[in-house]
Amino acid sequence: MKKEIIDMDGVKFPVYSLNTLIIGSGASGLNAAIHLWERGQKDIAIATDCWGGGTSNNAGSDKQTYYKLSLSSESPDSPLQMAQDLFAGGCMHGDIALCEAQNSLEAFFHLVRLGVPFPHNQYGAYVGYKTDHDPLGRGTSAGPLTSHRMFEALAREVKSRGIAVFDGCEVMALLAENKDDETHVIGALALDRNNCDAENLGFIVYNAKNVVLGTGGPAGIYKASVYPESQLGSTGLALAIGTIAHNLTESQYGLASVKFRWNLSGSYQQVIPRYVSTEKDGSDLREFLNDYFPDMGRLATAIFLKGYQWPFDPRKIGDFGSSLIDILVYQESVLRGRRVFLDFTRNPSGGGILSDFSFDLLGEEASQYLQNSDALYDTPIERLQAMNQPAIDLYRDHGIDIGKESLEIAVCAQHNNGGLKGNIWWESNIRHLFPVGEVNGTHGVYRPGGSALNSGQVGSMRAAMFISRRYSSEPPSLNRFLSAARAQIREKFVFARTLIDAKVTDGSDIPTQREKIQERMSACGAHVRGLAKVKEAIAEGWQLYRELQNTVKIATPQELPEAFKNLDLCLTHVLYLEAIGEYLEKGGRSRGSFLVLDPEGKKPCDQLGENWRFGLNRVDSFVNTKILEISLDANMTVRKNWVNIRPIPQAEVWFETVWKNYINDKIIK
């Protein structure tokens, strides 16, 4: 990596020239860096807004899962079978499914070699268990903090190899150039958070042959979110230069605690806690679920099942299914303005037509499970102590004693199945730009639990393979780079300067603007959707985007990173809403992890109002047989395109043929 200083209109800027810039230090960005290094490409650097920030290092769950080909001696598996299971989730391209299946073991053992403690038995079998949408027990786990353990191991490796890291470096634009009717990424612009009050406002310029974008999911567009606070996402960086995104309609939502953000899945629900709600001031405590369930047996069983069936799923609402609980929590908290809590100190109590909780009212699966777990104790907290003491310790480590204090909860955004589009080497339609990890939306409507972490590792490894083989040359000379990038750098710098206005004395509007984005998304673009509201939200979203570009002011340069982040989040949320609007216009109904309100549909249960009617998509409906792509053209006009779903390819498997192609360098292309 070479550093040079340029002078533009009397202001000096550092320019770093290198082969590959990796943006983000989550599990996927770090993995890309290590694989590049291992394959001989050492002219690389990682730019991250916060080393240790992001989802991988800071999120987890009851038993955080990594999905890979089964290695248990008792269950036969094959990459094709795994690809078929990934593909069966709907709206996922078959070639991507095959890559994720085929490469899952290589990616997994890379992590094992780096020291991630995935358990194996005395004969070396990395045994697994069944996760959601998984027929074969392909899930494995290094405990509640699997992705954190991955971050630790990968970060250790990055440091030990001496890979350059720009910490506190917020990338706020990608630089691009048109060549032969295609757009190429040529570098990036960042703000050094610790140097914004310098004359150059902390601008750092990167002249890079390739950019690997590992910026994670767009967490910052949601108010109700179980992503860690440090994760906001930067999908807008890529959207702004015309990168195609797809499946933006598909995200996962579910119940999580809000004071300390954590998924309430697995044993937190299997011990059957009591759900209560209160007024904002804590008065009028009620067990609100009792009004909707016909008997305690079905209520307690639905709570238990929430453990296995964590993401909200409109197919699991009917007949007092577990996802009815998400709707009731949403109604109580968002629509009625009350607060909802999980109370582990007491069992659900009856009242009205409901009897008090007792084990003999439970369904067969639930009662057998608690019996097998030796957890037939009197209260939920005692059952949790018996089944999973670390689940209690985890909250204690964050200052919450769930043996005494109830947990405030909400239905929260957790993961984005869709995102930027890549090919089988994870390169986007913008040449040399490789979105990896959650920002690359490889998944379809449903995905097996754990496949996000696998996808992040496989994708970053394949991007590194491609770059090191095909795009390994040096970056262009400074002069050549500046001839394409100078105007873009100048435009951003002038914009940054005009944002700062010393007359702003009563605090900037940055928090209010962000709240508007987040509230709009959680109200209209999350797990409950309707066309009229989405259309309004799109118009309001674009209006805010224009304001952020034209009229917003900040008091000091230190606020620049947040001002640019708001622009990014605003653009991101509008394109998500545009995709949702398009899906609804095409007659799309409920699927995946969202409910589409529909007056012609069925009520979730008799006691809920008419406005809750909804219907499910038919399997052969238009929206289920195509994938919606969305992007911005050079005039910022939104382009929407429904494309066919690519089937799983018939890959060449004849050894002599593959060998010949391999030695003739015809594989990576």
Work out how close the CB of 48 gets to ligand FAD at its nearest, in angstroms, rounded to a whole number.
4
Q: What are phi and psi of 254, to 5 degrees?
A: -170, 180
How far is residue 519 from each of residues 230, 233, 237, 325, 537, measured CA to CA in Å? 18, 17, 22, 22, 10
- The angle subtended at Cα 56 by Cα 53 and Cα 62, nearest 5°, is 125
- Look up tokens 């085929």; give the residue: 102
Residue number with CB closer to ligand FAD (28 or 590) = 28
Residue number with CB closer to ligand FAD (13 or 293) = 13
Q: For helices 478-499 and 560-585, what crossing angle results, to 10°?
A: 90
User: CA–CA separation, 98 vs 80, rounded Å?
Assistant: 7
Neighbours of 599 (CB within 10 A): 10
Work out how close the CB of 112 gets to ligand FAD at its nearest, in angstroms, rounded to a whole number.
16
Residue number with CB closer to ligand FAD (231 or 522) = 231
How far is residue 149 from each of residues 52, 60, 118, 342, 440, measured CA to CA in Å? 12, 10, 10, 28, 22
Residue number with CB closer to ligand FAD (538 or 570) = 570
Residue number with CB closer to ligand FAD (415 or 589) = 415
Beta bridge partners of 2: 17
Residue number with CB closer to ligand FAD (63 or 591) = 63
Residue number with CB closer to ligand FAD (270 or 277) = 270
Residue number with CB closer to ligand FAD (171 or 362) = 171
E strand or H helix at 628, and its extent? strand 626-632
User: CA–CA separation, 83 vs 458, rounded Å?
Assistant: 13
3-state SS, one letter per residue, for 52-98: CCCHHHHCCCCCCEEECCCCCCCCCCCHHHHHHHHHCCCCCCHHHHH
Using DSSP bridges, classify how beta strands 203-213 and 11-23 pair: parallel, antiparallel or unpaired: parallel
Residue number with CB closer to ligand FAD (453 or 537) = 453
E strand or H helix at 433, and its extent? strand 433-435
3-state SS, one letter per residue, for 245-289: EECCCCEEEEEEECCCCEECCCHHHHCCCEEEEECCCCCCCECHH
Work out how close the CB of 564 gets to ligand FAD at its nearest, in angstroms, rounded to a whole number.
8
Among candidates 68, 69, 54, 65, which has minimal Cα distance to 141?
65
Work out how close the CB of 52 gets to ligand FAD at its nearest, in angstroms, rounded to a whole number.
8
User: CA–CA separation, 12 vs 242, rounded Å?
Assistant: 29
Work out how close the CB of 508 gets to ligand FAD at its nearest, in angstroms, rounded to a whole number.
19
- The angle subtended at Cα 442 by Cα 437 and Cα 445, nearest 5°, is 125
Residues 6+ apart with CB under 8 A from 258: 224, 408, 409, 410, 412
Work out how close the CB of 73 gets to ligand FAD at its nearest, in angstroms, rounded to a whole number.
24
Q: For helices 560-585 and 510-524, what crossing angle results, to 10°?
A: 20
Structure tokens at 128: 């697994």
- The angle subtended at Cα 155 by Cα 149 and Cα 156, nearest 5°, is 90
Residue number with CB closer to ligand FAD (200 or 263) = 263
Work out how close the CB of 566 gets to ligand FAD at its nearest, in angstroms, rounded to a whole number.
12
Residue number with CB closer to ligand FAD (139 or 604) = 139
Residue number with CB closer to ligand FAD (307 or 456) = 456
- Three-state DSSP at 614 gives strand
Work out how close the CB of 263 gets to ligand FAD at its nearest, in angstroms, rounded to a whole number.
5
Work out how close the CB of 235 gets to ligand FAD at its nearest, in angstroms, rounded to a whole number.
9
Work out how close the CB of 163 gets to ligand FAD at its nearest, in angstroms, rounded to a whole number.
14
User: CA–CA separation, 48 vs 33, rounded Å?
Assistant: 13
User: CA–CA separation, 621 vs 610, rounded Å?
Assistant: 25
Work out how close the CB of 238 gets to ligand FAD at its nearest, in angstroms, rounded to a whole number.
11
Residue number with CB closer to ligand FAD (130 or 613) = 130
Work out how close the CB of 461 gets to ligand FAD at its nearest, in angstroms, rounded to a whole number.
13
Residues 6+ apart with CB under 8 A from 75: 136, 137
Q: For helices 27-38 and 104-114, what crossing angle results, to 10°?
A: 90
Residue number with CB closer to ligand FAD (192 or 582) = 192
Work out how close the CB of 665 gets to ligand FAD at its nearest, in angstroms, rounded to a whole number.
30
Residue number with CB closer to ligand FAD (225 or 347) = 225
Residue number with CB closer to ligand FAD (79 or 254) = 254
Work out how close the CB of 531 gets to ligand FAD at its nearest, in angstroms, rounded to a whole number.
29
Q: Contact residues for ligand FAD (CB under 6 A)? A: 23-29, 47-50, 53-56, 59, 61, 64-65, 147, 170-171, 214-217, 226-227, 231, 234, 263, 414-415, 437-438, 449-453, 456
Work out how close the CB of 196 gets to ligand FAD at its nearest, in angstroms, rounded to a whole number.
14
Q: What are phi and psi of 449, to 5 degrees?
A: -55, 135
Among candidates 197, 216, 204, 134, which has minimal Cα distance to 172?
204
Residue number with CB closer to ligand FAD (362 or 464) = 464
User: CA–CA separation, 21 vs 175, rounded Å?
Assistant: 12
Work out how close the CB of 201 gets to ligand FAD at its nearest, in angstroms, rounded to a whole number.
16
3-state SS, one letter per residue, for 395-415: HHHCCCCCCCCCEEEEEEEEE
User: CA–CA separation, 269 vs 344, rounded Å?
Assistant: 10
Work out how close the CB of 139 gets to ligand FAD at its nearest, in angstroms, rounded to a whole number.
8
User: CA–CA separation, 125 vs 502, rounded Å?
Assistant: 64
